Amino acid sequence: MANAKKTEIKGKVFETYDYDSFKTVKGNRVVNEKWIEKLAEKMSSSELDVPVMCGPDMKVIDGQHRIQARKKLGLPVRVYVMDEAKDTDVARINADRVNLKSIDYLNFWRTRTHANQKDYQLLKYLADHYNFGIELAIMVGAKQVARNWMLMADFKAGKYKIVDFKYAQDFGENYLKLIDLLGKPARARTFLNVFMIFYKHPDFEFDRFYHACKTNGAKILNASDRQTMIKALEWIYNFQLKGRKHKAIKFSRWIEDREYVEVSEKEIERRKRGRNQYRKV
């Protein structure tokens, strides 16, 4: 057909037994020997002929475990040379792979010279200094209260930015105080999630909350889910505040207004009947 579009072939594919010609890229994952064994076992029973991807200088962009597995079996390695590949393509090409962990992305981007390198270095500090774990540090650094796909996609692609480092530090210091005070219950996912939400309220006073937990912290032991935890922490925060200098806060209504939690159909019906437990203060 005269008007058919032509397909331009970029790069080239070849085979080699020269296993030592491949070069690692700064930021590559540490080679996992168990995974090499599994790949070798699969390759010995059926021919898995997926090319590895390299830059023009034989730096491995994707496939370092396949190279080692084929070397173990004495098989040639099929190589696809990406003429315009860059070192940063290591993280981008693996962005949707389940077996690449958050720590791998963090270590890659914090060691690469790019626009957001400082953000990843600060993220590593938050994760290590406050014993957050990578994904919690990502949320706190971004001033978010939930993990979402867009935030994680930006993190994996090297586009993550710390929104407010001082806020993240203050949150970390105060959360450690709660762990020292309350122990294991403060480490529970439900408690942490609700505390993160409360912490974002513009009128939230941590010192007030901390001292209230000293007296009534045991109340969280009966909170089995997020809704009951919200009610428990709200009760703790507002206990005996009438006529005091501190302001009582209806966290539950504020949380719903911002759609941090869904309002159940049962609760909606109760409000229609005029028995609204979430009356504004």
Q: Is 109 found in the same domain as 61? A: no
Asked if 204 and 223 sit in the same domain, the reply is yes
Tens digit of each residue's pLDDT (9 = 90 or more) over 112-152: 888 999 999 999 999 999 999 899 999 999 999 888 878 88
- Which residues, other chains included, contact 50 with Cβ-Cβ below 8 Å and sequence gap of 6+? 63, 66, 78
Q: Can you give the pTM of this predicted structure?
A: 0.62
In a domain, 62, yes or no: yes
Q: Taking the CA atoms of the chain, what radius of gyration do you get in angstroms?
A: 26
Structural domain total, the chain: 3
118 within some domain: yes
Please determine, for residue 275, whether its predicted confidence score (pLDDT) is greater than 70: no
The confidence score (pLDDT) of residue 245 equals: 65
Measure the CA–CA gap between 87 and 111, rounded to whole angstroms: 11
The dihedral through the CA atoms of 261, 265, 270, 271 has a sign that is positive
- Compute the average pLDDT of residues 21-48: 75
End residue of a domain, out of 45, 61, 93: 93
- 82 and 107 in a single domain? The answer is no
Which residue range(s) make up the domain with 110? 102-156
> pLDDT tens digits for 152-190?
888 987 889 999 999 999 999 999 999 999 999 999 999
One domain for residues 109 and 46: no
Phi, psi at residue 81, to the nearest 5°?
A: -90, 120
Residue 128 lies in a domain: yes
The helix (H) or strand (E) run that includes residue 79 is strand 77-81
Pair 116, 71 in one domain = no
Q: Which among 93, 122, 142 is the end of a domain? A: 93
Domain containing residue 35: CATH number: 3.90.1530.10
